[in-house]
Amino acid sequence: MNFGLIPIAEANITTLMRSITKVVINPLITALFAFAVIYFLYGLAQFLMSPDNEEIKKNSKQHMIWGIIGMFIMVAVFGIMNIIITTLGVKGVTVQNGSYTVTVPN
């Protein structure tokens, strides 16, 4: 039974890493970033819907702060990866739009 998500066998380590990146890592990073945005928006909604309750306002501020911290960390990691790759002159790796791709030079 083959679902077509991951090939049955990989020819070499490069194609294996490309498949793992495409099927596991990139969707996981996207899901974590989406979770951070949702967490921030949840805190914002709580903050706006209960302006009189100080306890809820305090908790919602914490939600917003941790959502922003999570988004900042994920964006910063890709920025740092891009700086390292550019500085070292690594060929075949590109970091764009919150994900990275590995290409095999011919």
Q: Amino acid identity, residue 69?
A: I
Distances (CA, A) of 54 to 41, 43, 48, 63, 67: 18, 13, 12, 14, 20
Every domain of the chain and the residues it spans: 23-102
Q: What is the pLDDT of residue 68?
A: 94
Average pLDDT over residues 58-75: 92
Tell me the whole-structure pTM to 2 decimals. 0.65
pLDDT over 70, % of the chain: 71
Q: What is the pLDDT of residue 26?
A: 76
Beta strand extents in the chain (DSSP E only) = 93-96, 99-102
Q: What is the pLDDT of residue 43?
A: 93
Average pLDDT over residues 49-64: 92
Average pLDDT over residues 53-78: 91
What is the C-alpha to C-alpha distance for residues 53 and 76, in angstroms, rounded to an integer?
34
Q: What is the pLDDT of residue 81?
A: 77
